C-alpha cells in the first residue's frame, strides 16, 4: 500500500463544510434537546454565521419521505438557492438523487442557479440507501452496483450537457441527441461531489467526480480509502479531493464534550436507530464486496446518521484541531461537520477551532507541533 501520508497530502489549507439542517430532528437520532431549527429563517442566519466563521461550503440533504427522526424535509436544490441568495461567499452543495432527478433537469436547474449566484452552487450526487422512499414514490430500486452505474452515467451526462455545444450520448440509462443547453454554467464548471464508500463508489470517484465524500471514520481507515481512490484516479491522470464527515462536539474540557456524546447516545431512540440500521443495509453491506458506508456501524455509531462520532472530533478545541491535522495527513481536503446546536456551535468552532488549525498548518502540521 502506498503511504497516504506522504503521497496524498494536499498543501492547501483544509476546508470546512457544515451539514445544512434542511431536515427536521437534527443530525442525531436522539431525544436530547437540540437548539437547531430546520426552517429557512434559522438556516439563513446559520449560513451567514458559517460564512463569517470561515466555512467555505454548506451541504444540503435530500430525502423524499419521513423516517428515523426526520419527519419534515425541505428539497435540497430549492433550499440551496435560498441560502446562496442570503450569503456572499459561501458555496452551497445541493444533494441530487438519480431516479427522482434525471440529468436534464439537474443540469438545467444547476446551470440557472450557477448563473444567478456567480458560480457558487455545487452538487452532491448521492446514489441512494433508502429503498422505502423509492417504493413510496414509485421509482424502481436498482441493485447496489447498478445504482452506481446509473450515477456515473448521470455525472458524464451532466458534464457533457454543461460543456458541449451539441451533446450526443447513448447510455444504458440516459440518451441525448444534439442537445444544446443555454445558458451554460459560467466557468469554472459546478463542482461534483459524491457520497458513498463502497468499491463502486470509490471506482466512480476515481473516474468522474471532483470530490469523494465518505462517512465518519478514523484517520487510518480514511487513509485506506484515500489510497484506493487516489491510486485509481492517478491511473486515469486525475486527483480526487476527499471530504470526511464528523460530528463535532467542542467544549472547554474533554469531560464536558464526552458527557454530551454520552447523553446523545443515552437518549437515542432505539426503535428509530434500529430501523435506520436495518434500512442502511441497502448501502455498503448490499455491495458485492460488502464494504462501504455503515457496513461496520455499531448501535452507537448509527445514532449519528453518517458515523460522525467515529471521526472523534470530540474534546477541547486543541484536541480537535490536532485530530483535524491527522485527517489532513491521511489525505483529507475537507471536513464536513454536524453539530448539536448548529448556530452557536458553528460560531464557536469558527472562533476557537479553525484558528488553531490554521496555526498548526502554518507550523507545518501536527507532528512538528506535537514535537
Ligand atoms: C456526506 C454524505 C452525504 C450524503 N447525503 C445523502 C442525501 O442527502 N440523500 C441520500 O439519499 N443519501 C445521501 N448519502 C448516501 C449516499 O448517497 C450513499 O447511498 C451511501 O453513502 C452508501 O453508499 P455506499 O454503499 O457506496 O457506501 C450521503 C452520503 C454521504 C457520505
Stated length of the chain: 371
294 Cα nearest atom in ligand 1: 27
287 Cα nearest atom in ligand 1: 25
Categorize the per-residue pLDDT at 7 as very low, low, confident or very high, splitting at 50, 70 and 90. very low
Taking the C-alpha atoms of residue 142 and residue 149, their distance in angstroms, rounded to an integer, is 10
**Residue 284 Cα to ligand 1 middle (Å):** 10
Q: Is 103 in the pocket of ligand 1 (CB under 6 A)?
A: no
Sign of CA dihedral 197, 201, 203, 208: negative
pLDDT, tens only, 120-143: 999 999 999 999 999 999 999 999
Q: What pLDDT, on the 0 to 100 scale, is given for residue 368?
A: 39
Over residues 348-359, mean pLDDT? 98
Q: What pLDDT, on the 0 to 100 scale, is given for residue 371?
A: 39
Q: Is 308 in the pocket of ligand 1 (CB under 6 A)?
A: no
Q: What pLDDT, on the 0 to 100 scale, is given for residue 304?
A: 94
**Which CATH number covers residue 43?**
3.20.20.30
End-to-end Cα separation, the chain, in angstroms: 27
Report whether the peptide linkage leading into residue 273 is cis, meaning its omega lies within 30 degrees of zero.
no
Q: Which three cell numbers stand for residue 241?
A: 479531493
Average pLDDT value for the chain: 94
- In DSSP notation, 173-190 reads S-EEEEE--SSPPPSSPP
Over residues 42-61, mean pLDDT? 98
pLDDT at 146 over 50: yes
Specify the pTM: 0.95
Per the structure, the count of domains in the chain is 1
pLDDT, tens only, 289-321: 988 888 989 999 999 999 999 999 999 999 999
Residue 167: give the domain boundaries.
Answer: 4-370
pLDDT, tens only, 10-32: 579 999 999 999 999 999 999 99
Q: What pLDDT, on the 0 to 100 scale, is given for residue 342?
A: 98
Amino acid at each position: 500500500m502506498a503511504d497516504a501520508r506522504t503521497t496524498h497530502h494536499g498543501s492547501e489549507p483544509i476546508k470546512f463544510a457544515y451539514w445544512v439542517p434542511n431536515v427536521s430532528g437534527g443530525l442525531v437520532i436522539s431525544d436530547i434537546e437540540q437548539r437547531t431549527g430546520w426552517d429557512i429563517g434559522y438556516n439563513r442566519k446559520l449560513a451567514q454565521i458559517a460564512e463569517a466563521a470561515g466555512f467555505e461550503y454548506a451541504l444540503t440533504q435530500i430525502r423524499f419521505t419521513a423516517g428515523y427522526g426526520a419527519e419534515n424535509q425541505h428539497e435540497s436544490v430549492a433550499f440551496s438557492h435560498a441560502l446562496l441568495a442570503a450569503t456572499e461567499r459561501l458555496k452551497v452543495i445541493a444533494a441530487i438523487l438519480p431516479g427522482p432527478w434525471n440529468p436534464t433537469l439537474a443540469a438545467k436547474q444547476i446551470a440557472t442557479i450557477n448563473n444567478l449566484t456567480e458560480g457558487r452552487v455545487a452538487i452532491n450526487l448521492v446514489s441512494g440507501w433508502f429503498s422505502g422512499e423509492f417504493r413510496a414514490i414509485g421509482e424502481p430500486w436498482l441493485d447496489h452496483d447498478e445504482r452506481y452505474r446509473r450515477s456515473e452515467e448521470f455525472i458524464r451526462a451532466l458534464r457533457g450537457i454543461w460543456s458541449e455545444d451539441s451533446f450526443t450520448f447513448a447510455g444504458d440509462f440516459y440518451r441525448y441527441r444534439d442537445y444544446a443547453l443555454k445558458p451554460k454554467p459560467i466557468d469554472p464548471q459546478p463542482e461534483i461531489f459524491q457520497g458513498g464508500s463502497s468499491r463502486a463508489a470509490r471506482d466512480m470517484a476515481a473516474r468522474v467526480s471532483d470530490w469523494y465524500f465518505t462517512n465518519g471514520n478514523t484517520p487510518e481507515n480514511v487513509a485506506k480509502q484515500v489510497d484506493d481512490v487516489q491510486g485509481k484516479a492517478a491511473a486515469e491522470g486525475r486527483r480526487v479531493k476527499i471530504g470526511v464527515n464528523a460530528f463535532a462536539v467542542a467544549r472547554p474540557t474533554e469531560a464536558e464534550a464526552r458527557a454530551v456524546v454520552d447523553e446523545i447516545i443515552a437518549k437515542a431512540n432505539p426503535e428509530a436507530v434500529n430501523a435506520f440500521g436495518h434500512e442502511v443495509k441497502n448501502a455498503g453491506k448490499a455491495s458485492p464486496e460488502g464494504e462501504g458506508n455503515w457496513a461496520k456501524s455499531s448501535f452507537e455509531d448509527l445514532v449519528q446518521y453518517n458515523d460522525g462520532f467515529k471521526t472523534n472530533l470530540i474534546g477541547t478545541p486543541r484536541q480537535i484541531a490536532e485530530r483535524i491535522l491527522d485527517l489532513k495527513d491521511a489525505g483529507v481536503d475537507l471536513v464536513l461537520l454536524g453539530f448539536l446546536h448548529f448556530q452557536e456551535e458553528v460560531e464557536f468552532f469558527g472562533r476557537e477551532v479553525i484558528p488553531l488549525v490554521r496555526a498548526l498548518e502554518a507550523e507545518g502540521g501536527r507532528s512538528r507541533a506535537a514535537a
